[in-house]
Structure 1
Amino acid sequence: MEFAKKKFGQNFITDRNLIKKIISILDPEPNQLVIEIGPGRGALTKELVQNFKKVVAIEIDKDMEALLKTEINSDNFELITQDVLQVNLKELISSEYKKISLISNTPYYITSEIIFRAFDLAKDLDKAVFMVQKEVAQRICAKQNENNYNNLSVAAQFYSDVKYELTVSKNMFRPVPKVDSAVITLTFKNQNLIKVNDDKEFIAFVRKLFNNKRKTILNNLSSVLGDKTKSLTILEDLKIATNLRPENISLEDFIKIYKEVQNEN
């Protein structure tokens, strides 16, 4: 086995049952484009190629190129040897497929960047399946009033239906990482996109409101707007208690606050 490279955060899946479970989480529609980020040695990729019409794998490690092309000699497989953050994912998407999915055994060091890239494709993707650190998975799936509910939780709920699928023992990988992982799914929906005039601006606004989780929503909003009186008026008009913290605010209320701020400007 080629050595996993620490700089790329490589931990290869070795458990066959886990691979089967991940495949079963994807929509079974065979006429599907699956974009895989970080195929590694191709254990999951081989199964994807057998089940779906087209698989495009993006791998940063050039040393894996020969291995993957040798192991997976199939017309419906395409390998892009490049840093995923440098790839225009939108250009890979085509209307010829009934479903478009993204799947990634996500390197820990770029987890947030990859997830936000998926949000950028919300209008084009049907589903994303991510294997991430368990703690990150819990944060993404956290609900209002839970301690680990944050701006990433709100963003995930804004773009998709989020589901914590399963916990994955660290012993199912080689080399064995320090922590357990989890598989989560994001099933994309567009009903929230029409509620705001700029989804990226909305997500950036929510991130600012979480700048200091210990402060109240009134204090955080006042910091963003630079005007406590105006912030107080907005929250009172929306009947949102000023002493709540960001973790107590629902997605719907964040949308209301954002829209009210837009109307005021």
Structure 2
Amino acid sequence: MLAKKQFGQNFITDKNLIAKIVSLLGEDKNQLIIEIGPGQGALTRLLIEKYQKVVAIEIDKDLEEILKTKFNSDNFELIMGDVLDFDLTSFLNNIKNSYNRVSIISNLPYYITSEIIFKTFYNCDKLEKAIFMTQKEVAQRITALVGENNYNNLSVAAELFSTKKYEFTVKKQMFNPIPKVDSAIISLDFQNQKFKMPISDKKVINEMTRQLFNNRRKTIYNNLGTYLGDKPKALKILQNLEIDPQKRPEVISSDEYVRIFENIRR
């Protein structure tokens, strides 16, 4: 079956690579694994063998029969549909007492990478970890630290809600069809989050940091003033927090972004 460009499909077949990726989920068999975009089931087969339950979410209707035929197993469930429409919160609430751990794994479609990652963050209090394959450049952004060139709002969110790690690079030649760029595997561990907050607050702080990174050449004072529509208020907040107003967004730590958020909410 040919990969479909509209779904960002690139299939992996190397068994050693598949085993290396799946191993990042750990050896606890009593896990529910949510696989986003199983494709033709390269990871799925090993997930079914290793873990108590696998729920796969797939948008491509042409893959439905392929997956159901390949994996006629009691511990496999296929949900057809767009993951962005999938009510992950309700799903996790309904199964929270049935498994020791719940984790997510996905070779993320490039065109909705950020949306899936943020959806995961919004529900990470109910998750053990997430293992994501993304384009290498995106992986570098997510795992970037304050002061690094790639540091952005996605880096901040990953730091606030997870322990993030760039695991390894996956060369483009490992895929069929071969994409234009290399990929990378990242892990997001949700067991020791810096900040626990309701989904509504996560959405607000993520939107705030996104807008504060909109113009990286401008100072945090200018960007915060634009976000608030009130430059004197922005200056007062930064002075109260002892944050240099002339700093740029990429040198503001995740802790400082939380303090800005909390000060605005007062």
TM-score strictly above 0.5: yes
CA deviations 1:237-262 (Å, max 9, x no partner) are: 21111111000000111111111122
Question: Counterpart of 2:221?
Answer: 218
How far is the alpha carbon of 1:27 from its aligned partner?
Answer: 2.3
Give the aligned partner of residue 75 of structure 2: 76
Q: Is the 8 A contact 2:122 2:199 kept in 1?
A: no
User: RMSD value over aligned CA atoms?
Assistant: 1.5
CA distance in 2 between partners of 1:216 and 1:35 (Å): 40
* Number of matched pairs: 262
Instruction: Give the alignment partner of residue 246 of structure 2, picking from 221, 243, 246.
Output: 243
Whether the aligned pair in 2 keeps the contact of 1:195 and 1:255 (CA below 8 Å) is no
Q: What residue in structure 2 maps to residue 185 of structure 1?
A: 187
- CA displacement, residues 89-136 of structure 1 (integer Å, 9 cap, x when unaligned): 233331210010001011111111111110121111110110000000
State the match for 2:153 in structure 1.
151
Deviation at 1:155, TM superposition (A): 0.9
Q: Does 1:205 align with 2:208?
A: yes
- Residue 233 of structure 1 deviates from its aligned partner by 1.8
2-structure distance, mates of 1:110, 1:38: 11
SS at match of 2:133: strand
1:256 aligns with 2:255: no
> One-letter code of the match for 1:69?
K
Question: Who is 1:9 aligned against?
Answer: 8
5+ unaligned residues in a row in structure 2: which ranges? none
AA in 2 matched with 1:29: D
> For residues 52-201 of structure 1, what are the structure 2 equivalents within 5 Å?
52-93=51-92, 94=95, 95-188=97-190, 189-194=192-197, 198-201=201-204
* TM-score, normalised via structure 1 length: 0.95
Q: CA deviation at 1:38?
A: 0.7
**TM-score using structure 2 length:** 0.95
- Counterpart of 1:43 in 2: which secondary structure? coil
Structure 1 vs Structure 2: percent identity of aligned residues?
56
**1:191 deviation in Å?**
4.0
- Deviation track 1:149-173 (CA, whole Å, cap 9, x = no partner) reads 1111101111111100010011111
8 Å Cα contact 1:54-1:76 kept in structure 2 = yes
The answer as to whether partners of 2:146 and 2:251 remain within 8 angstroms in 1 is yes
Cα distance in structure 2, aligned partners of 1:197 and 1:86? 18
What's the CA shift string for 1:183-234, capped at 9, x where partnerless?
Answer: 0011114440259982221111111211211100111111122222222222
1:166–1:182 contact (8 Å) kept in structure 2: yes
